[in-house]
Chains A and B, each alone.
Chain A
């Protein structure tokens, strides 16, 4: 950035940005605060901001009642596994559409997106019957299949847009040097597209992590991820907001950490994404 920015300008933008960020982040902050309050206080009027009786009883109750670790591991395996597999399938596909396009390429892209048009509620019973027949109910593999194929169109789309940013000449130069298509893919394309691939990975891990319809319906206990963990704290009879807040904070903690460490990648990666 070669432009000189005046200090007042910087001050104004900083204050404005922080206000905007705070306003957007506020509900989450409120939720985390609620997780440290007693049930009575979580719902109290007037609401207390920082000066209330801080307690970790909700976390203790949650830990005692459900197996957070079991659910968290399932979430990691299912969200991570489905996204990685989707990437493996999508990278060649996106390459093909970016560098060997045909006149049907746009149609194929739109068709892929159209496979996500069916509302899950409408197709619950057929999928449940299929899964029952193949013994996939309550299995991590079954959930990985659903999430992988469900997110595959998004993965392909994002990779496609990143790949289109990469200058063809570099690839062709590699080809002139005698590389086969396979080599070109592995040794030239992938390193250049790494930021894009990283950000696609992150975005889809989040989508898979939060997917609550299929994970709730197709799992029972063995393969149940954190979405089921949270559902069990949701809306029972009686006050529950403090405990639900604690459960949710626990459930998003891994993702927030992941997001913090890779948001640099995310932002940079998306740079290649939607730009032209």
Chain B
């Protein structure tokens, strides 16, 4: 790599880094500042410095640990579902299928819909225990319909979010599969390898990097899931579907307590950093060439 390339390289990177840095630092500074104030929008002019009080208040909320558990459950489950199913569907779509483009579009489609609309359709038209389609199917088969949002609310949310993100994982894995060397597969076949071991020894390693990319990008989005919860369960019943993002909303936004909202936001960032740290430890080496 020539010196010129190096120099130009640094230059080329500057706009992106500079813009993102400003985008990050200005709101971050304001947030840190607000988090040390007793600042409620409904009583402006009474701001007072209270140090770490907002953090203490947010972290000692009995709901805090529970919402952290919900957050991790939500992220972990959706990741697991989307990656496992995504891989399987990708393998299926990689086969000879008549009308493949249409099927592909059908599989991508959930990603196009606005999250709030998806959630409403799932909640009212599909999952409602009295008038939803699932209830109808259950009663036709003589079973009692599952009362999703009462008995398994977090699971219901997980299913909705997983449905929305499945296309993303499937697509990335499908295209990765399509570059898998045919000859490798044939050679393995000739050596007598069964389909299952071909999967584990050839396909999966090939998919290591795309799976890593999917994990990292999805995690970033899943940690801050909000709209689906807001529109279906409002965080309930009890705290069953309250995650950290929703807790911040509950604790702070609807009371316009900017101080606590800021503190909560920063706590969420710290948690996300910890999660990312562990993730990168586990799968990060797949990123490097």
Contacts and interface: CB of A to CB of B under 8 A. Distances in A.
Interface of A: 1-3, 5, 9-10, 13-14, 16-18, 20-22, 24-25, 27-28, 30-31, 34, 42-47, 89-90, 92-93, 95-97, 99-100, 102, 106, 108-110, 112-127, 129-130, 149, 152-154, 156-157, 161, 164, 181-182, 206, 210, 212-213, 227, 230-231, 234-235, 241, 244-245, 248, 251-252, 255-256, 259-260, 263-264, 266-271, 273-276
Contacts of A164: 289
Given A47-B133, A89-B16, A267-B175, A130 B27 contact: yes
Contacts, number: 309
A110 B276 contact: yes
A274 B172 contact: yes
Nearest to B261: A122
Contacts of A10: 95-98
A141 to B, nearest CB: 15
Contact of B224 (A13, A119, A252, A269): A119
B105 interface: yes
Contact of A89 (B19, B186, B227, B268): B19
B146 interface: no
A275 B268 contact: no
12 contacts: A31-B125, A99-B9, A102-B9, A123-B31, A123-B262, A123-B265, A130-B26, A149-B19, A161-B213, A182-B8, A241-B120, A274-B173
Contacts of B186: 2-3
Interface of B: 1, 4-6, 8-13, 15-17, 19-20, 23-24, 26-28, 30-31, 34, 41, 89, 92-93, 95-118, 120-122, 124-126, 130-131, 133, 135-136, 163, 166-167, 171-176, 178-179, 182, 186, 206, 209-210, 213-214, 216-217, 220-221, 223-224, 226-227, 231, 244-245, 248-249, 252-253, 258, 261-262, 264-266, 268-269, 272-273, 276, 280, 284, 287-289
Contacts of A230: 114, 116-117
A27 B163 contact: yes
Pick from A28, A97, A127 the residue with the most CB of B within 10 Å.
A28
B13 A92 contact: yes
Given A130-B27, A270-B171, A24 B120 contact: no
Per CB-CB distance, the 4 closest pairs between chain A and chain B, nearest first, are A122-B265, A100-B9, A274-B210, A92-B12
Contact of B248 (A122, A154, A227): A122
Contacts of A264: 101
A13 B96 contact: yes
Given A122-B31, A181-B4, A263-B101, 7 more contacts: A3-B182, A93-B17, A114-B272, A121-B245, A227-B114, A241-B120, A256-B105
A204 to B, nearest CB: 12
B106 A121 contact: no
A28 B109 contact: yes
Contacts of B89: 20
A235 B120 contact: yes
Nearest to A88: B15
B15 A89 contact: yes
A212 B114 contact: yes
Given A95-B12, A248-B117, A17 B93 contact: yes
Contacts of B125: 27, 30-31, 34, 42-43, 241
B12 A96 contact: yes
Contact of B269 (A110, A117, A181): A117
Majority SS of interface residues in chain A?
helix
Nearest to B244: A119
Contacts of B19: 89, 149, 152
A119 B209 contact: no
Contacts of B107: 20-21, 24-25
Contacts of B276: 110, 113-114, 117
A154 B217 contact: yes
A45 B136 contact: yes
Nearest to B227: A212
Nearest to A10: B96
Contacts of B92: 13, 16-17, 20
A135 B11 CA distance: 31
Contacts of B113: 28, 210, 248, 252
A270 B175 contact: yes
Contacts of B41: 125
Nearest to A49: B133
Contacts of B26: 130
Contacts of A24: 106-107, 109-110, 163, 166-167
Contacts of B289: 164, 276
Nearest to B211: A274
B171 A266 contact: yes
Nearest to B243: A119
A124 B31 CA distance: 10
B261 to A, nearest CB: 6
Contacts of A90: 16
A10 to B, nearest CB: 5
